[in-house]
Amino acid sequence: MTVGKARARAVIDNMGKHEIAVIGDLMLDQYLWGTVERISPEAPVPVVNINRESSTPGGAANVAGNIFGLGDIPLLIGVVGNDNNAKVLEWLLREKGIATDGLLADNDRPTTVKTRIIAHNQQVVRADRELKKDIPAAIETEALEKIQKHSETLKGVIISDYDKGMVTASLLDKLIDFCLQKNIFIAVDPKDTNFPRYKKVSLITPNHHEAGFAYGTRIVDEKTLLTVGNGLLERLDARSILITRGEKGMALFQRGGEVKLIPTVAKKVFDVTGAGDTVIASFVSAMAAGATLEEATVISNQAAGVVVGEVGTATISREALGEAFELGQAGAHE
């Protein structure tokens, strides 16, 4: 499956200035960077000498960062704790230019934080601080009201489900019904727990492990890939399912259409952290810009190929995406 360079440029040029809601689990991604020179005498683990620290918005906030990088306007909605990490996340988002009025505070939970220790450009260990429980009804109502207030301007809604408690069964049902009524493109980056509830959505973007687990058949070859993809499409009555396959690329299943297989374009892979966020953000941004499902797949594949070449949680920009097509990477032609 390919997209002509002229058509790709036309879609990318039209990306931006569209309002896209991102609702889901917010996180703060912390990084401790250092080097390893010895093994600890206390346990068979490396001793990392930390020389710098950094933080970046993660989870649904990273999806919003990708949306913003592509020139669109993210309406970010998610829950945080009433703590210092929430203030850091808010500051980082504001520094990027992303509105933070959709950060909803819950006094009974901490802000989700993932701390990664990186040595010699490789992740050594990750430590998570989180509380997995459903958000209270009041926060769910507030989140839905924010979406409803923007219904006339929204070009898409992304549900970023990391199974941390923001995406409740009740919120899913109400949000999907609302988007169907308003004819708003709704995309889901799924987690196993809620998979049966992603019915009638416009797009689902599981990786091959998640898709196989949800359907009950492990994907080991093209035959099982087709079984799982077509089976989930029918079971969920979705408009489309995009299964990401790592080094094997992507597979697009669409209602009433042929299965489209596309190879990866990544020339180098340093870190897949946040790659799924980039895929769904660039796909929905492309759809808002007038792309077809097939064109959005090729464009999101290009975007993923850019971010996996960087260490840490990365976001795509419209400029970098355009350059990828200009370089003549796979999936584009004159």
Query: Which residues have a catalytic role annotated?
Result: 277
Query: Would you say 110 and 26 are in contact if contact means Cβ atoms under 8 Å apart?
Result: no
Block residue for tokens 């689902």:
204
Q: How far apart are the C-alpha atoms of 313 and 327, rounded to whole Å?
A: 24
Q: In terms of C-beta density within 10 A (0-12 exposed, 13-18 middle, 19 or more buried), how is residue 63 classed?
A: buried
88: which 2 tokens? Answer: 């850091």
φ, ψ for residue 10, nearest 5 deg? -65, -40
Query: Would you say 297 and 187 are in contact if contact means Cβ atoms under 8 Å apart?
Result: no
Q: In terms of C-beta density within 10 A (0-12 exposed, 13-18 middle, 19 or more buried), how is residue 10 classed?
A: middle
Beta-bridged to residue 126, according to DSSP, are 116
Query: Would you say 250 and 280 are in contact if contact means Cβ atoms under 8 Å apart?
Result: no
